[in-house]
């Protein structure tokens, strides 16, 4: 013990420089060969652990370039750099560590992964980022021929679009359809992309340990939606010729968005998502069982299967800062509201246009609701003002009362004082009388 303390009298210089965010200092130190990237402090933390915890992405990159161990678990409680980055909540740092090969399944001495630590401190964007992460090489693998194959299962031109789709956090089928619409590559290879996703799902489920159940369910779900889109495309190309593909996807998008006549609830979409989940082939998977329980515990209408699925894949959200697009579910800060009802909002014009056919049936009703809400708000504001005026009057009355009382007290004091003076005067006069009587007496005697 004493020996250990002697060996590390103070923080290694490289860690001191990390704490000062002094990247030039660290660079010079490493160039001069005066420090090793693997040096640790008394808790077994390396410079990379410290830099990750502080969210200093550039320093992390420098240390990694100099050979720092990305999965170093010399920390007393076996926290990896990714654990610390997850705690920091810095997205860029987390992203850098992921692309540099950080193991997402590594657990600390409490058995917690980096994702679980991030969820614990409420860094939900980090949770989503880690849960959805996979290296692009996992997709590129399928562009190469394997075994007896003459060519890969996926044209190499599609790998990037498919990878981006997998990394997409928004799971709304409309958003997936829009992503497909934006990528001709993906649109022309939907079936092979779906097949590759199913293979990836199978491969992940058969891992001997540390199965990433989240990504496994996501692979299946994306494959399911792509298959639907592909079927839709085929159907419409048989029916009509010469029409642009994008308008064909529009028909399925409209179907998904179609609301129940009574209240506009997106029933079709709800059933679609439930069917997609039910089709998952690895029914023994704990996360899948949990997912099904969460969905079947609620009736159609009071839970949204998409919300449950998103929560399961992207991590539970404690609260939501930004509003969702009514069409594609995308969250954005600068959403545009329907100018009439001010009720629904969209991430862009394209989404607003897509939604109008459905929304126009409810817009008037929602507008009435908006008016009612505004009226109620106005009434509340007025009654609040009235109450405020009342309170103010009460306060003024009280103040006046207090002032009057004070005034009265002053008057009473005044009277008492005057009385006292008068009394004094009287006794004085009496005394003078007595004295005169006395002197008279003296005179007589």
The footprint of Zn ion (CB under 5 A) covers 325, 327-328, 330, 338, 340-341, 347, 351, 363
- Minimum distance from CB of 254 to Zn ion (Å)? 14
- Minimum distance from CB of 331 to Zn ion (Å)? 10
Choice between 117 and 338, CB closer to Zn ion:
338
What the block records as the tokens of 202 is: 């199978």
- Minimum distance from CB of 327 to Zn ion (Å)? 4
Characterize 168-199 residue by residue with b for buried, 16 or more Cβ atoms within 10 angstroms of its Cβ, and e for exposed. bebbbbbbbbbbbbebeebbebbebbbbbbbb
Choice between 118 and 180, CB closer to Zn ion:
180
Choice between 86 and 328, CB closer to Zn ion:
328
- Sequence-ordered list of residues with C-beta below 8 angstroms from that of 283, at least 6 positions apart, any chain: 289
- Minimum distance from CB of 358 to Zn ion (Å)? 11
Q: What CA–CA distances, in Å, run from 431 to 168, 420, 425, 440? A: 108, 16, 10, 14
What the block records as the tokens of 176 is: 């997936």
Choice between 194 and 341, CB closer to Zn ion:
341
CB 59 within 8 A of CB 21: yes
Return d(Cα 54, Cα 90) in angstroms, integer: 8
Choice between 34 and 364, CB closer to Zn ion:
364
SS3 10: coil
Q: Which of 134, 80, 137 is closest to 109 using CA atoms?
A: 80
Return d(Cα 355, Cα 210) in angstroms, integer: 42
Choice between 118 and 347, CB closer to Zn ion:
347
Return d(Cα 62, Cα 9) in angstroms, integer: 26
- Minimum distance from CB of 365 to Zn ion (Å)? 9
What is the residue whose two structure tokens read 């997850």?
Answer: 86
- Minimum distance from CB of 250 to Zn ion (Å)? 14
DSSP secondary structure letters along 208-261: SS---HHHHHHHHHHHHHHHHHHHHHHHHHHH-SS--HHHHHHHHHHHHHPPPT
- Minimum distance from CB of 238 to Zn ion (Å)? 29
Alpha carbon of residue 99 to chain centroid: 22
Choice between 163 and 370, CB closer to Zn ion:
370
Task: Give the pairing of strands 331-332 and 345-346.
Answer: unpaired
- Minimum distance from CB of 160 to Zn ion (Å)? 23
Choice between 323 and 340, CB closer to Zn ion:
340
Over 328-375, what HEC string results?
Answer: CCCEECCCEECCCCCCCEECCHHHHHHHHHHHHHHHHHHHHHHHHHHH
Long-range contacts of 373-378 (CB under 8 A, 24+ apart): none
Return d(Cα 327, Cα 54) in angstroms, integer: 38
- Minimum distance from CB of 349 to Zn ion (Å)? 10
Choice between 225 and 325, CB closer to Zn ion:
325
- Minimum distance from CB of 166 to Zn ion (Å)? 20
- Minimum distance from CB of 342 to Zn ion (Å)? 7
Choice between 361 and 408, CB closer to Zn ion:
361
Choice between 262 and 299, CB closer to Zn ion:
262
Return d(Cα 316, Cα 133) in angstroms, integer: 17
């Amino acid at each position: 013990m004493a020996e250990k303390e002697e060996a590390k009298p103070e923080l290694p210089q490289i860690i001191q420089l990390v704490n000062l965010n002094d990247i030039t200092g660290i660079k010079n130190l490493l160039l001069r060969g005066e420090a090793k990237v693997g040096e640790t402090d008394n808790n077994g933390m390396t410079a990379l652990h410290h830099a990750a915890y502080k969210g200093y992405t550039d320093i992390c990159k420098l240390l990694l370039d100099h050979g720092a161990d990305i999965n170093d678990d010399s920390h007393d409680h076996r926290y990896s750099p990714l654990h610390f980055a997850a705690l920091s909540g810095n997205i860029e740092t987390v992203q850098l560590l992921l692309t540099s090969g950080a193991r997402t399944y590594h657990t600390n001495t409490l058995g917690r992964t980096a994702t679980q630590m991030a969820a614990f401190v409420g860094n939900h964007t980090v949770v989503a980022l880690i849960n959805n992460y996979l290296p692009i090489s996992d997709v590129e693998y399928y562009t190469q021929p394997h075994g007896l194959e003459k060519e890969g299962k996926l044209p190499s031109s599609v790998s990037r679009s498919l990878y981006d789709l997998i990394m997409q956090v928004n799971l709304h089928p409309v958003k997936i359809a829009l992503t497909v619409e934006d990528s001709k590559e993906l649109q022309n290879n939907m079936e092979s992309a779906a097949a590759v996703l199913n293979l990836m799902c199978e491969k992940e489920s058969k891992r001997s340990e540390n199965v990433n159940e989240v990504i496994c369910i996501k692979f299946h779900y994306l494959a399911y939606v792509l298959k639907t889109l592909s079927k839709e495309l085929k159907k419409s190309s048989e029916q009509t010729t010469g029409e642009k593909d994008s308008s064909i996807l529009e028909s399925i998008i409209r179907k998904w968005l179609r609301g129940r006549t009574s209240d506009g609830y997106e029933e079709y979409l709800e059933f679609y998502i439930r069917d997609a989940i039910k089709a998952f082939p690895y029914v023994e998977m704990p996360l899948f069982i949990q997912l099904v329980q969460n969905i079947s515990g609620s009736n159609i209408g009071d839970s949204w299967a998409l919300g449950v699925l998103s929560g399961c894949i992207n991590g539970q959200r404690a609260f939501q800062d930004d509003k969702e697009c009514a069409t594609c579910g995308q969250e954005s800060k600068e959403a545009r509201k329907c100018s009439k009802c001010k009720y629904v909002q969209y991430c862009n014009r394209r989404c607003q246009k897509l939604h109008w056919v459905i929304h126009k049936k409810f817009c008037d009703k929602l507008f009435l609701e908006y008016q009612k809400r505004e009226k109620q708000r106005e009434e509340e504001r007025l009654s609040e003002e009235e109450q405020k005026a009342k309170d103010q009057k009460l306060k003024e009355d009280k103040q006046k009362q207090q002032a009057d009382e004070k005034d009265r007290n002053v008057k009473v004091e005044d009277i008492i004082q005057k009385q006292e003076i008068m009394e004094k005067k009287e006794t004085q006069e009496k005394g003078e009388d007595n004295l005169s009587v006395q002197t008279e007496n003296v005179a007589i005697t």
